[in-house]
Amino acid sequence: MPKIVDHEARRAELAEAMWRVVYRDGAAAATVRSIATEAGWSPGALRHYFTTQTELLAFAMEHVVAKATRRFYAGDWTGPVREVVQRMLEEVLPLDQQRVREMEVWLLLAARSPTDPVARARIAEADDGVRRATELAVVTLADAGLVAADRDVPSETARLHALVDGLALHALLHPDVMPPDRVRATLAHHLDDLLRPAG
């Protein structure tokens, strides 16, 4: 199916152009016009692939989620369990400029998701990836005997997932009160609590 392969390659090329613009100029700068210019296409040619900014953001998000998922599963997760789990979770937090930009795109899509099914589907996919990472973190700690026996894995996963997303939001919106070191320390403090019996 050479035509389909070509179509996919062209879409990937556009996603890469979009991310170059986002990393350089910020998420708000990603418009159909600016991405067309970056890719060396006419806006009309780009509109053959994406007709709205939401579709553009959704495809760029899909591209980043796929890359992050591959990187996550190919990662070197050897070492002391507690340190490995901390690193796994830091991977999904906006602790450097690149991931801050990715989260800005996430936030633009999330804001559209109550009314836009395309945005909603991509947000669900991205958030499911983070939920699975937090679940893996809790299960890994539990398997290593680092979670108190009476703690419930699904409850602790839901709580850790909320904490991780809240920290991500504060790191993005209020970096003055939640700089990277404080994000890491708050996460470490939370993992400490999992060691203690729930009641």
Residue 162 near its own copies by CB under 8 A = yes
CB 177 within 8 A of CB 147: no
Residue 197 near its own copies by CB under 8 A = yes
Residue 153 near its own copies by CB under 8 A = no
Q: What is the DSSP letter of 96?
A: S
Helices (H), 32-152: 32-39, 43-47, 53-74, 81-90, 97-112, 117-143
Q: Find the binding residues for its own copies in span 77-116 (CB under 8 A).
A: 104, 107-108, 110-115
Interacting residue with its own copies among 51, 67, 155, 179 (CB under 8 A): 155
**Which class for 35: exposed (0-12), middle (13-18), buried (19 or more C-beta within 10 A)?**
buried
Residue 135 near its own copies by CB under 8 A = no
Residue 54 near its own copies by CB under 8 A = no
The window from 37-45, 58-66, 68-76, 167-175 that contacts its own copies (CB under 8 A) reads: 167-175
